[in-house]
Each structure stands twice: as structure tokens, then as C-alpha cells.
């Protein structure tokens, strides 16, 4: 599995459609200061579901939409698509190539798509869970992240190993099952109270 292609339109400094092709192995992005190198990694983070504007170096999520320059009008929408090679089948979906898309409009409305089919953010999270490519995974290491990891509390460091070991999906399913069990037992208690009252 590797990132094959990144398509951006109206995202941060990328007002016009831009396609970046990646290949297996190492890709280096070089360019002058302020040319948009970090905006590329922000785009990857964003399309994978990042919800924190701060993690994208902004104050509000709307700031990911091209804000306009002296000679270019601002855009009403930001769109990013990340195409992932899935020939090894690591993503649990029956496609050799998986395109994850996120759109955001100035109205604040957001859309997520997997291979052009609308989906929920949760579907994207579940698809990439335990693969290491999620925003909390270990494949996106921003500046300062290494020192964070080294100085992290042991529990936080453990989360990275758990993602790599592929147990996060099971932990999340366990938490969901426990939540449902909790609400079912509350319902049962209420029903027993009502029965007791009637009797």
C-alpha cells in the first residue's frame, strides 16, 4: 500500500486543480519558503479526517479554503482526493485503488467520499484504522512529533504501538459494544421499574 496520487482544488494555496503523483519509495518535496510544501502534508492530513484546525496550522477549519490573493478570487470550496494503492489488500475494501475525497464549502458543510460514493467520516476512519495512515497514525510525522513521541506519557506511546499492531479497531469495537451494553442494561432497569409499578 502506498499513496499514489494527491489531487487538490481550492485547498489553502492551491487555488487551481493540482495533481501530485507519488511513487513507491521515498518522495521528497522541495521548494522555497512559503511555496506550499507543508500545505501538501496538511492536505493529506485533512482528507484523512483531521478535525482540528490547529493541527492544520489554522484557527478555523474554513481557513483551508483558498482565501484569494491580489489577482485571484477566493474559492467557495476546498476539495482534496488521496488515491491509495491497495493492491496488497491492506484496506478492507474490494478495490486495488482507493480514492478518499473530502470537500468543504464556505457554508461549513462537509462531504466525504470513498471511490466517488458519499460516505461518513466514520467510514473513512474505519477503513484506515490500524493501517497507520490515519491522522493519529505513525505515517504522518509532523515537525516536533518525534520529540513529542519520546517525551510522551507511556500510555500515549502505547497508542502508537497499538495502531501498528492492528488492535485499535478491536478496542474501538469493544468500546462501542460496551456503550450499547450499558444503554441496554439501563433500558432493562427502566422496564423492570415500570413492571414493578404496574404490579
17 is an annotated ligand-binding site residue: no
State the Cα torsion 7-11-14-20 to the nearest 10°.
-20
CB of 62 to ligand ATP, least distance (A): 9
32 annotated ligand binder: yes
Nearer to ligand ATP, 46 or 112 (CB): 46
Tell which positions 2-21 bind ligand ATP, by CB under 6 A.
12-13
31 sits near ligand ATP (criterion: CB under 6 A)? yes
How far apart CA 77 and CA 192 sit, in angstroms, is: 52
Q: Which burial class, exposed, middle or buried, applies to 127 when counting CB atoms under 10 A from its CB (0-12, 13-18, 19+)?
A: buried
The answer to whether the annotation marks 173 as part of a ligand binding site is no
Q: Which residues contact 18 (CB under 8 A, 6 or more apart)?
A: 7, 8, 9
Residue 66 binding ligand ATP, by CB under 6 A: yes
Draw the binding track, 36-65, toward ligand ATP (x: CB under 6 A; -: no contact): xxxx-----------------------x-x
| Pick 48 or 91: Cβ nearer ligand ATP | 48
Q: How far is the CB of 142 from ligand ATP (least distance, A)?
A: 11
The grid cell for 73 is: 478570487
Query: In angstroms, what is the minimal distance from the CB of 165 to ligand ATP?
Result: 33
Amino acid at each position: 500500500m502506498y499513496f499514489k496520487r494527491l489531487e487538490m482544488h481550492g485547498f489553502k494555496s492551491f487555488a487551481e486543480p493540482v495533481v501530485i503523483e507519488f511513487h513507491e519509495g521515498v518522495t521528497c518535496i522541495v521548494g522555497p519558503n512559503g511555496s506550499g510544501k507543508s500545505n501538501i502534508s496538511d492536505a493529506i492530513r485533512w482528507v484523512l479526517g483531521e478535525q482540528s484546525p490547529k493541527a492544520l496550522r489554522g484557527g478555523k477549519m474554513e481557513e483551508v479554503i483558498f482565501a484569494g490573493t491580489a489577482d485571484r478570487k477566493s474559492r467557495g470550496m476546498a476539495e482534496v482526493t488521496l488515491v491509495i494503492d491497495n493492491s496488497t489488500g491492506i484496506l478492507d475494501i474490494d478495490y486495488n485503488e482507493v480514492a478518499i475525497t473530502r470537500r468543504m464549502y464556505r457554508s461549513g458543510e462537509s462531504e466525504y467520499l470513498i471511490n466517488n460514493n458519499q460516505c461518513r467520516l466514520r467510514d473513512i476512519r474505519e477503513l484506515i484504522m490500524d493501517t497507520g495512515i490515519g491522522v493519529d497514525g505513525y505515517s504522518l510525522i509532523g515537525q516536533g512529533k518525534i520529540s513529542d513521541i519520546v517525551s510522551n506519557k507511556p500510555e500515549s506511546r502505547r497508542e502508537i504501538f497499538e495502531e501498528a499492531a492492528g488492535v485499535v479497531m478491536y478496542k474501538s469495537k469493544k468500546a462501542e459494544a460496551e456503550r450499547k451494553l450499558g444503554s441496554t442494561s439501563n433500558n432493562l432497569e427502566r422496564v423492570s421499574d415500570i413492571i414493578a409499578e404496574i404490579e
